Chain A
Amino acid sequence: MELQPSILREISDEHNLLPQPARAKYISETDELILEDELQRIKLEGKIDRDKCVTGSVIAIYGAERNDGKFTVEDFCMADLPPQTPRPVLSSDRFVLLASGLGLGSSHADSMLGLQLLIDMVTGQLGDQGEQSGAANISRVLLAGNLLSQSTQDKDASTKPKYLTKKTQAGSVEAIRLLDELLLQLVASLPVDVMPGQYDPTNYTLPQQPLHRCMFPLSSVYPTLQLASNPHIANIDGVRFLGTSGQNVLDIQKYSSMESHLEILEETLRLRHLAPTAPDTLGCFPFYQKDPFILEECPHVYFSGNATTFESKLVKGPDGQEVLLVTIPEFSSTQTACLVNLRTLECEPVSFSAFSANDDEESEMNISH
């Protein structure tokens, strides 16, 4: 791909290029699709959409090689859904709340009341008896990444001189303290799984390690707090949840023509690989022997966080697998979280809003389809 950022081109003196600006999409017309194995590679053409394929996909193609050395594809297939253990039958409704992109520590704290409403609802303080009894059925909260906002990642310390930044704290310190207090309210009421995201204080490469418990002195005393890695597998009442904080989906979105997070999510499921673009364009630990991102077993709920909108879809596999795909929207911008019903594998968006002086009617930020 011509537009793909290449460090070699950047530092090459003969080209004398400035660093490439960040783009939304790195696909271009001159891209080529190449099939590669341990020994050789061959260019592909034909009934395969070049812009929809991403580096790292493992596919099987059916066609013939032409004289000029290119392979004409007549059909192709992917690994498709892995085998799945059937999920247990639940007698009563039980819910899991999925939220991501809380965006704490940002300069504009518009979403804080929404967050407080979310916590109040989940802990059973909001609403009347009926709602509270409904909220009592929420058996877990899963926070899928980007708990801190991007503005906490400001690398002021590296650019400014030391005497200016000596006494200033990193933005993430205050944000983590705020997060700890929020988590304390939640963990006192129900189990919480916390996954790190792109802007959270943990390592950059996938798999991201769980946030360290020393950052959560107040809430880590509770056994209900579980600091999870990214990607994360959880088994909640027999229902297998698998998901990431969205970095894999976002990366595929940048390097392919696919726009919808849900479409990309389905694509990764069918490819049986969580993050096919790692380590090519997505940072990842250099695994040598075994690739842990290959989906061995099919989850029941497959999610990715920090999407722009809420989307969900029930995918059925050839062997009777049933997977609920959920793209969790970013809470800081959409004020929406998702509620998954474990009994029926349905997902519904829950949105929170408040009023502000700007508009006469409340800012309804709920988007769903």
Chain B
Amino acid sequence: MDELYLDNIDEFVNDHDKIVTYKWLSLTLGVHVNTAKQMLYHYLDHKRKESSAQLHATYLVSGKFEDNGQTGHKVSVVKEDQLEDFKSKMSLVVSVHVYSVQKALLKDSGPLYSVDYDAVKDNLKNCTKFSAIRCASAVPMSSLELQQARQIHQVPAPEPEHKKPAMNGEANASKPSTKPQKGIMGMFASKAAPKNQDNVKDIKTEQKEDTPVAEAPKSKPAAKANPMMNFFGTQTAKKPDKTEKKEEAAQSSSSAEVQRQSSQPEEKREAPAVQPPKDTKKEARSKSKRVVDSDSEEEKMEKKKRRRIKKPEPDSSDEDVIPDSPQQMKTRELSPSPEKEVEPVSHSPSGNSQKTRKRRRVLKARTFVDDEGCIVTEKCYESESYSETEDDVQATKQASKDPVPAKRPASHKPDEKKSQKKTSANANKGSKQASIMGFFQKK
């Protein structure tokens, strides 16, 4: 066993012509640094006794020395021939050990650095695994802790950092905010009023779901709290609010799953809501903070709007609008915890459909072979149980071939989006204008 490492070092030095530093050795062989130093020392000793090969070594000398009355600590890498010289210059020698062993005489210490650099680069994760000092708190945070840390970071950031002209989170949010669709929003605001009865908690879950998604939508959770505030006050609610409410509505129906709330996310969401206004450009808006903050939602809403671009503003009941939101949520959420909630939500449309399920007469074409052997296509009205959400869910299922939306991996997301675009388009046409559906079905 003892001989093994000697052979190893021998191989490295002589055969591979490497510069073997103690650090490189410790990382390569997986031993403690002090052990590596001892190994090098023994090897050097061994070889020197044998006096077989020409080996050169560099040493590390560290100690105290005096300079104009000031005691300083000095750490140096020295060549073997300078070792004694250096030691004599120091007032107190703290430690000396072998730094590296190599076959060729080194003129410059540059290669020593590059050797260590490569070794460390390959072992970045556990570069301090073999060091002599341990730190209890230096443990990498898990991704969940990271997000929490970042949320906390963002929340107090606006308040104390009054020095900052513009805040990071808000800067993100304010960037993509575009034209307000105030008129339409105003129309919807009144509709949304009854929906205001939803719990604030629903919003919070929504935001909590959003949080794990990405960094950029970080402003979204912050922004989302504000529509909640908007509900309870301002007239100038906007399209983001509408979507927000829709999601709430969807959430509320599956309130059982949604109800697992902690007060903490709630507080966090409330705090961002208090962010000072950033978008002073839109003078058209009222000056209230909440309104301005809701603009920041538009960034998130923009994404949604793109997908639902064909969908005109709903002037029908909210229930028709609800079905879209589960799909929106499906595309946006990726992490497992929201998936769980998405799942119940997506199933909830079927629950929703209980509300919206109705029988109606649909013009359908029936083809059959009549007695003469001719294929006849007959258009007739059939009464069927219709639910918009069902249509959508089914369409989505067919499109993505994955009935459980929760299990959809991120790669299906574009498919989902496309299918949702289709389904939302379909849903649009289906829910609002039944006659047009009939038009398409004729084909």
B425 contacts chain A at the CB level, 8 A cutoff: no
Selected contact of B73 from candidates A116, A292, A351, CB within 8 Å: A351
Contacting pair B73 A350 (CB below 8 A): yes
Selected contact of A356 from candidates B60, B69, B109, CB within 8 Å: B109
Contacting pair B82 A223 (CB below 8 A): no
The total of chain B residues at the interface (CB under 8 A) is 61
Contacting pair B140 A221 (CB below 8 A): yes
The distance in angstroms between the C-alpha atoms of A339 and B165, with both chains bound, is: 36
Inside 8 A of A190's CB, which chain B residues have their CB?
A: 133, 135, 138
Contacting pair A355 B72 (CB below 8 A): no
Interface residues of B in 143-174 (CB under 8 A from A): 145-146, 149, 161, 163-165, 168
Inside 8 A of B145's CB, which chain A residues have their CB?
A: 223
Instruction: Write the chain A residue with the least CB distance to B74.
Output: A351
Selected contact of A224 from candidates B77, B82, B137, CB within 8 Å: B137
B395 contacts chain A at the CB level, 8 A cutoff: no
Q: Assess A132 versus B72: contact at CB under 8 Å? Given A127-B60, A285-B163.
A: no
Whole-angstrom distance from the CB of A217 to the nearest CB of chain B? Answer: 11
Inside 8 A of A113's CB, which chain B residues have their CB?
A: 77, 109-110, 112-113
Whole-angstrom distance from the CB of B100 to the nearest CB of chain A? Answer: 11
Q: Assess A354 versus B112: contact at CB under 8 Å? Given A131-B95, A287-B163, A362-B76.
A: yes
Binds B, one of A72-80, A118-126, A254-262: A118-126
Contacting pair A136 B132 (CB below 8 A): yes
Contacting pair A132 B132 (CB below 8 A): yes
Contacting pair B75 A351 (CB below 8 A): yes
Contact bitstring B115-137, A, C-beta under 8 A = 1, else 0: 01100110010011011111101
Contacting pair A131 B62 (CB below 8 A): yes
B374 contacts chain A at the CB level, 8 A cutoff: no
Whole-angstrom distance from the CB of B159 to the nearest CB of chain A? Answer: 15
The distance in angstroms between the C-alpha atoms of A172 and B120, with both chains bound, is: 21
A13 contacts chain B at the CB level, 8 A cutoff: no
B3 contacts chain A at the CB level, 8 A cutoff: no
Contacting pair B135 A368 (CB below 8 A): no
Inside 8 A of A116's CB, which chain B residues have their CB?
A: 113, 116-117
Q: Assess A222 versus B82: contact at CB under 8 Å? Given A116-B113, A356-B108.
A: no
Q: Assess A349 versus B72: contact at CB under 8 Å? Given A125-B132, A188-B138.
A: yes
Whole-angstrom distance from the CB of A201 to the nearest CB of chain B? Answer: 14
Contacting pair A207 B163 (CB below 8 A): yes
Selected contact of B23 from candidates A125, A191, A285, A356, CB within 8 Å: A125
Whole-angstrom distance from the CB of B91 to the nearest CB of chain A? Answer: 13
The distance in angstroms between the C-alpha atoms of A132 and B107, with both chains bound, is: 28
A53 contacts chain B at the CB level, 8 A cutoff: no
Instruction: Write the chain A residue with the least CB distance to B71.
Output: A348
Q: Assess A185 versus B120: contact at CB under 8 Å? Given A113-B113, A285-B165, A357-B107.
A: yes
- List 4 additional contacts besides A222-B139, A349-B72, A351-B72; criterion CB under 8 Å: A116-B113, A221-B146, A223-B145, A355-B109
A-B contact pairs, 10 of them (CB 8 A): A109-B110, A125-B23, A127-B60, A127-B62, A190-B138, A223-B145, A348-B72, A351-B73, A355-B82, A366-B72
